[in-house]
Structure 1
Amino acid sequence: MLDLTLDPAVETRLIGRFGPGFRDWFATLPELLGRLARRWDLEVVAAVAAGNTSRTFHVRRADGVPAFLKLTPEPQIGITEATALRAWEDSPHVVRLIDSDGESGALLLAAVEPGTRVERLPIEDVAVLLRSLRPARSPDDELPTLRQRVDFLFDLTLGRWRGNPAEQYIDRDLLDRRRAAALTLAAGGPAGLVHGDLHPGNVLVSHVHGFTVIDPRPSIGDPTFDGIDWVLAQATELHDLEANITRLAELIPEVDPDRLMDWCRTTAAVIAVPRLNRDPHDRETRFLLRLAISDG
């Protein structure tokens, strides 16, 4: 029998994200799994470790081919992800959407083998990824704006900051100022399809394509946003960040290095807050804190 038990810490995290209604949704999960298994002729093999917004399951299709079934308590999350994945269907570096269920927001996704998460990518590989995320046509009318995504991220950050160790290092005024600056950035610049959550944890090693992007939180706005985590990766001094930005801009002429630096400054606090809650003395975290506080 499939074990759907949630670790208490995971349950707390998901309730924090979706509210107490998560428990009601979770209680209906066996019924939902059964309905989708019948619809797509699937054998549900095992649950995957729960993410921040979904429960994912290893499944086997009727022809024996492995796949993943991804379920979320908030159907709109799955609906927007499906929209983005269809726009990226020609990209060799984005997970393939087999089918989706509009009512529940469920996604049936092609398996990625071996599917281990990357630790880090050279800037040259990051450039390949970012170029592959620029489709010829963006579903502008079907997705939220990057401005909405940025506002949501700062709301999440406030929740993670309030009453936690990060309060000792970052004050509310700084978060408000950085939010205002980020919203101004999001309102301008080029417009295209943005992944919205592109970090090493959402890139898997693939035998077929080298690496594969998963779990978009898509929006329409400045695609430069997707470079933030990659140029900040392992940076402990400003010159590290500047070198990464310069190299990425050389490889992708559409990337404005000044805008990318501005994005890093305005979102550094968003990245720093959960890290400060875990380990405020980590060198990368200390750099993020300095970057968040600095005025450039």
Structure 2
Amino acid sequence: MIELPEAFVRTTVDREGEPGATWLAQLPGILEELLERWSCVPDGGVLHGDVGVIVPVRRRDGTTAVLKVSFPHPGNVHEPDAFAVWGGRGAVLLYERDDDRFAMLLERARTSTLAEAGEPGLGGAGTGPGDDGSGGGGRHAQDDRVACVAGRINHRLAVPAPPGLPRLRERADAWEEQLLRDAEELAHGLSRQAVDAALATVSELGRVQPDTLVHGDLHPGNILRADREPWLAVDPKGYAGDPAYDGGTLLKSRALVLLEADNLRKALHRTLDVFAEAAGLDRERVRRWAQFHAVDTALWARRHGFRMGRGESWLERGTAFADRAAGLLAERS
């Protein structure tokens, strides 16, 4: 019987309560059933993310893969749909799927992420098609490489979305309502200009978006080192909308790095400019979506806190970053 990681068990129960405990009790049996059905054997220790477990496996023909099973949640429904459309273009390949089980058999990438490649002392994330990850250079060079790789992945994933995927434009009314409610009800440090800029983005960009497949959570931790290609995306939400939307996801994930910048305004715009150029996107649209994400994050943090149990210090620093980013990005560069 496959043993589940203790940390995953604990956080799942804390987050999901009794439904999570019930699912966890069934999960080892589900994994065994899928291994048999898809003719795989375990090939390494069980890994996990926030909402799912990942079992490295070896298939009958000797190729490697991973079996991923996630806690049933609406946010995970369209992950296999996105992989199926991409067909390995900038993302890991989908070999098998069981939508009722929220399970997939996927191409195995490496465990190192673009986020790790961008950390000081760990080498840079190269930007070219033949990048070997040796990188080099200083802090700015590392930051630029992370943003460039993320932008190039964004460009590769921007293909026509199939019918049936959730359209981001359909969330615009809910975004506006939530922003107005939170800005009125919560004590916060956001300027009126910052809130108004986010509301303008929802009104002017949020309600009219293309039917383009959008990852929806394209941060460096969801871009893995691989063998078939230098970098491959994992864990998509599978939305249809504006590819510039994911510029804000990138920026949020770089908060701790950007907080160390001598000139935060310059660092914010530089990161977004590099991302936009690599992705072939309009830099102004990327800036506006990133500013919307910053306002949304600042208000969300005050109402709900941040996930992952990072503690009060991270809550304060993360909220302060979102406040500052929201204000600085409300100003045109």
Same fold by TM (over 0.5)? yes
- Change in Cα spacing, 1:118 to 1:110, as seen in structure 2 (3 Å) is same
| Structure 2 letter corresponding to 1:261 | R
Match of 2:112 among 109, 116, 122: 116
1:232-262: CA deviation from partner (whole Å, max 9, x where unpaired): 6343411222233334444444x22222111
Partner of 2:243: 223
TM-score by length of 1: 0.78
- The Cα of 1:285 is off from its aligned counterpart by 6.3
- The Cα of 1:75 is off from its aligned counterpart by 6.2
1:142-195: CA deviation from partner (whole Å, max 9, x where unpaired): 2112256789999xxxxxx9xxxxx88658x99997885664443224331110
Partner of 1:207: 227
SS at structure 2 position matched to 1:116: coil
- Change in Cα spacing, 1:84 to 1:278, as seen in structure 2 (3 Å) is farther
- The Cα of 1:76 is off from its aligned counterpart by 5.1
- Change in Cα spacing, 1:28 to 1:287, as seen in structure 2 (3 Å) is closer
Partner of 2:179: none
Partner of 1:164: none
- Change in Cα spacing, 1:45 to 1:170, as seen in structure 2 (3 Å) is farther
SS at structure 1 position matched to 2:266: helix
- Change in Cα spacing, 1:150 to 1:218, as seen in structure 2 (3 Å) is farther
Are the counterparts in 2 of residues 269 and 288 from structure 1 also a CA contact under 8 Å? yes
Match of 2:326 among 286, 292, 295: 292
Are the counterparts in 2 of residues 88 and 94 from structure 1 also a CA contact under 8 Å? yes
Are the counterparts in 2 of residues 97 and 110 from structure 1 also a CA contact under 8 Å? yes
1:257-290: CA deviation from partner (whole Å, max 9, x where unpaired): 22211111111145563378443675x8644321
- The Cα of 1:46 is off from its aligned counterpart by 4.5
- The Cα of 1:78 is off from its aligned counterpart by 4.7
Are the counterparts in 1 of residues 76 and 237 from structure 2 also a CA contact under 8 Å? no
Partner of 2:273: 246
Partner of 1:279: 314
Are the counterparts in 2 of residues 178 and 267 from structure 1 also a CA contact under 8 Å? no
- Percent of aligned pairs sharing the same letter: 26
Match of 2:62 among 61, 64, 68: 64
More divergent stretch after superposition (116-125 vs 212-221): 116-125
- Change in Cα spacing, 1:249 to 1:178, as seen in structure 2 (3 Å) is closer
RMSD over aligned CA atoms reads: 3.7
Which structure 2 residue ranges, 5 or more long, are not aligned? 119-124, 126-144, 177-181
TM-score by length of 2: 0.70
- Change in Cα spacing, 1:147 to 1:57, as seen in structure 2 (3 Å) is farther
Whole-Å separation in 2 of the counterparts to 1:263 and 1:246 = 13
Which structure 1 residue ranges, 5 or more long, are not aligned? 155-160, 162-166
Match of 1:144 among 144, 157, 166: 166
Are the counterparts in 2 of residues 85 and 94 from structure 1 also a CA contact under 8 Å? yes
Partner of 1:98: 95
Are the counterparts in 2 of residues 75 and 103 from structure 1 also a CA contact under 8 Å? no
Partner of 2:39: 41
Are the counterparts in 2 of residues 227 and 260 from structure 1 also a CA contact under 8 Å? yes
| Structure 2 letter corresponding to 1:291 | A
1:74-104: CA deviation from partner (whole Å, max 9, x where unpaired): 165554111000111151x211111101221
- Change in Cα spacing, 1:183 to 1:13, as seen in structure 2 (3 Å) is farther
SS at structure 2 position matched to 1:69: strand
Partner of 2:206: 186
SS at structure 2 position matched to 1:129: helix
- The Cα of 1:20 is off from its aligned counterpart by 2.6
SS at structure 2 position matched to 1:57: strand
- Change in Cα spacing, 1:33 to 1:249, as seen in structure 2 (3 Å) is closer
